Amino acid sequence: MLVDAHAHIDIKDFDKDRDQILKKCNIIVVNAGVDLESNLKSLELEKKYSNVIAAVGFHPEFVKNKINELDKCLELVEKARIISEVGLDYFWIKEDELRKKEIEILSRFLEIGEKEQKPLIIHVRGGFNDLVTILSSYKVKFVIHAFEGSIKNAKRVIELGGLISMPPILLRDKTRQEIIKNVDLEYILTETDSPFMAHEKMIRNEPCNVQLTIEKIAELKNIDIQEVEKKIENNFKKLLHL
């Protein structure tokens, strides 16, 4: 079975063909909520589709204009098996004050993750060092979604017990290809971040494109495609204590 560990299929880009898209291949899809409305949609999707797992979170970019939704988002975590989308974004958020707030918010989600033993699927754009510092104070299972950065940073994630998740953009991103070559399959997950991060520019990404990532990983690591698929499925099951 394929695994899409991070997607946004609740958004309106999928209103016309969500059913077909989720049935196109044998896949399990984690839908990440980014604000109150999408967290609620994420939970609805889990009820409607047997192959969707709801994740609830609060996207760090919304520290700027949706902070009033935070408490309700935190409350909804108890209804989900996975916490996402949470993390640190220093690419869009430049103000020190707001970055501090991002750290504070992420810490609250980490606390819940530790207490309720729920894995976190984390967004980080800039702020990697701050993320490592915070993560080292919690005992949680976590994944860095759409990992970007150096091989050295990838290894720091693994030292902390985390996994690295790769979207189909891998097919056209040489830096990410180097990461895949240098990280053991044991620590890799697949995702799409649909509708973003596709293998081609300007097209809508969708969950079954995970197949393309699997094929690319197999090629880069010179391993059988089925073996990669099986291993990633197992990595995901371990993450969820299945």
Cβ atoms of 149 and 122 within 8 Å: the answer is no
SS3 call for 162 = coil
199 labelled as ligand-binding? Answer: no
Instruction: Closer to Zn ion by CB, 10 or 193: give it.
Output: 193
Site for Zn ion in 212-231 (CB under 5 A): none
Sites for Zn ion among residues 182-201 (CB under 5 A): 193
CA gap 138, 53 in Å, rounded = 24
Q: How far is the CB of 145 from Zn ion (least distance, A)?
A: 6
Nearer to Zn ion, 149 or 218 (CB): 149
Show contacts of 35-39: CB within 8 Å, 24+ apart: 35/59, 35/62, 35/66, 35/69, 35/73, 36/66, 36/69, 36/72, 36/73, 36/76, 38/8, 38/10, 38/11, 39/73, 39/76, 39/80
Strand order in the sheet with 188-190: 2-7, 27-32, 52-56, 82-89, 120-125, 142-144, 163-166, 188-190
Is 85 within any annotated ligand binding site?
A: yes
Distance from first CA to last CA of the chain, Å, rounded? 14
Residues touching Zn ion: how many (CB under 5 A)?
Answer: 2
Antiparallel, parallel or unpaired: β 82-89 and 52-56: parallel
Least distance CB 240 / Zn ion (angstroms): 19
Task: Provide, rounded to whole angstroms, the least separation between the CB of residue 29 and Zn ion.
Answer: 13
Q: Scanning residues 57 to 96, which ones bind Zn ion (CB under 5 A)?
A: 85
Nearer to Zn ion, 12 or 152 (CB): 12
25, 23, 21, 24: which is closest to 8 by C-alpha? 21
- 35 vs 193, which CB is nearer to Zn ion? 193
Query: Is residue 145 annotated as involved in ligand binding?
Result: yes
Nearest residue (CB) to Zn ion, 60 versus 113? 60
Measured from the CB of residue 224, what is the shortest distance to Zn ion in angstroms?
Answer: 30
Residues that bind Zn ion (CB under 5 A): 85, 193
Binding site residues, as ranges? 6, 8, 85, 123, 145, 193
Binding site residues for a divalent metal cation, as ranges? 6, 8, 85, 123, 145, 193
